[in-house]
Amino acid sequence: MTDQSHGHPSLLELRDLSRHFGSFRALDEVSFRVRAGARHAIIGPNGAGKSTLFGLVSGTLPVTAGSVLFDGQDVTRLPVHRRVGLGIAATFQHSSLFMRESVLENVLLALLRRPGGGLGGRRKVAARPKAIARAHALLDQVGLPTRYELAAAELSHGERRQLEVAVALATDPRLLLLDEPAAGMSPAETDRLTALIAALPAEVTVLLVEHDLDMVFELADTVTVMHLGRHLMTGSPDAVRSSAAVQSAYLGTAEAAS
Ligand code: ADP
Ligand code: MG
């Protein structure tokens, strides 16, 4: 594997990471690094293993073999909450919002679940002006400043994705994993989400799985291409765009499909 870190420290390093389902290799000895501060995208056709990879990094799915290093620490077997405590936050392809709770409560619950936040329940939530101010700031940041009292279920699809990002940011992540955040979004919603991700502070490293290649090439400084559970390449957006192997495995199919 070539060293993509260019002397910068890696925040995340995957070493020969594999996940099998029975005899099927959903992820097959994948190795690459994510530089601290990167806007790193993972692309590849459906079934490439992208969501599986996110499950192994976030801890929702146990690995078959290989390791996950976060900031130099082996987190391969840590439970999800310990990884969240270290600064790994994820939004998932299938929403994990509390649909009956209000927009504000979804963010407050995430704020209070984090280490040091305590588990005070609703009454204490109401009594924490600092948490409420922080929740308002996060909702502003993701572009949902006037929807506080609506139930999550009442939001549009795009607004729910924005809320999921606010919930993830509430855990103060150093690494934010976004799995197809623009899926099902209107062009205007996608533009808003792209701007929101672009505006995240450099302290938040972003690892993004996305089918919308315009969004990928607008945001990413590094792109990893996967195909059938394998790592095809990691490089600059230009290097990826001009790779013949990538074009035949992915870009060609994507363009033919659109
Ligand atoms: P991607 O996100 O790149 O579309 P996934 O990581 O979701 O791909 O899936 C990779 C492959 O692993 C797919 O062929 C999928 O059907 C398979 N797979 C994912 N999860 C499971 C599971 N729980 N059991 C069996 N096969 C699975
Ligand atoms: Mg997926």
Please, what is the angle between helix 103-113 and helix 129-141, to 10°? Answer: 120
- From the CA of 92, the nearest ligand is 2
Element holding 12 (H helix, E strand): strand 10-21
For the ranges 67-76, 111-120, 177-186, the maximum mean pLDDT occurs at 67-76
pLDDT, position 125: 54
Q: Is the CB of residue 197 less than 8 Å from the CB of residue 205?
A: no
Q: Among residues of the chain, what percentage have pLDDT more than 90?
A: 65
Token pair for 119: 């588990």
> Strand 175-179 relative to strand 88-91: parallel, antiparallel, unpaired?
parallel
Judge if 4 and 75 occupy the same domain. Answer: yes
**221: CB partners within 8 A, 6+ apart:** 38, 39, 40, 236, 237
pLDDT, position 5: 47
Sheet of strand 65-70, all strands in order from the earlier edge strand to the far edge: 24-35, 10-21, 65-70, 73-74
What mean pLDDT do residues 132-153 have? 91
User: Is residue 93 situated within a structural domain?
Assistant: no
DSSP annotation of 102 reads: B
pLDDT in tens, 98-115: 999 999 999 999 888 755
**How remote is the C-alpha of 148 from its chain's centroid?**
24
Q: Is the CB of residue 145 less than 8 Å from the CB of residue 55?
A: no
Q: Is the pLDDT of residue 34 over 90?
A: yes
What mean pLDDT do residues 149-160 have? 92
C-alpha span between 92 and 187 (Å, rounded): 20
**Greatest extent of the chain over all pairs of C-alpha atoms, in Å:** 59
Last residue of a domain, one of 172, 199, 219: 172
Determine the residue of 19, 21, 92, 211 to mutate for testing ligand 1's pocket, defined as the one with the most ligand atoms within 8 A of the Cβ atom.
21
pLDDT in tens, 38-76: 999 999 999 999 999 999 999 999 999 999 999 999 999
C-alpha span between 114 and 6 (Å, rounded): 33
Q: Is the CB of 51 under 6 A from ligand 1?
A: yes
How confident is the prediction for the chain on average, in pLDDT?
A: 87
- Write phi, then psi, for 212 (nearest 5 degrees): -75, 100
Judge if 229 and 123 occupy the same domain. Answer: no
- 87 or 244, which is more confident? 87
CA of 84 to the centre of ligand 2 (A): 21
Q: Which atom of ligand 1 is nearest to the CA of 19?
A: 12
Q: Is the CB of residue 176 less than 8 Å from the CB of residue 169?
A: yes
User: Is residue 218 situated within a structural domain?
Assistant: yes
pLDDT band at 186 (very low <50, low <70, confident <90, very high): confident
DSSP annotation of 27 reads: E
Judge if 48 and 78 occupy the same domain. Answer: yes
Element holding 213 (H helix, E strand): helix 213-219
Judge if 64 and 6 occupy the same domain. Answer: yes
Amino acid at 71: D
pLDDT, position 115: 53
C-alpha span between 158 and 190 (Å, rounded): 8
CA of 230 to the centre of ligand 2 (A): 14
Last residue of a domain, one of 131, 149, 172: 172
What mean pLDDT do residues 121-126 have? 52
Judge if 191 and 243 occupy the same domain. Answer: yes
Amino acid at 125: V
**Domain that residue 201 falls in:** 1-87+173-258
Judge if 225 and 244 occupy the same domain. Answer: yes
Please, what is the angle between helix 187-198 and helix 157-169, to 10°? Answer: 10
How many domains, in total, are found in the chain? 2
Q: Is the pTM of the predicted complex or chain greater than 0.85?
A: yes
Judge if 20 and 77 occupy the same domain. Answer: yes
Q: Is the pLDDT of residue 257 over 50?
A: no
pLDDT, position 7: 58
Q: Is the CB of 224 under 6 A from ligand 1?
A: no
Determine the residue of 20, 24, 28, 227 to mutate for testing ligand 1's pocket, defined as the one with the most ligand atoms within 8 A of the Cβ atom.
24
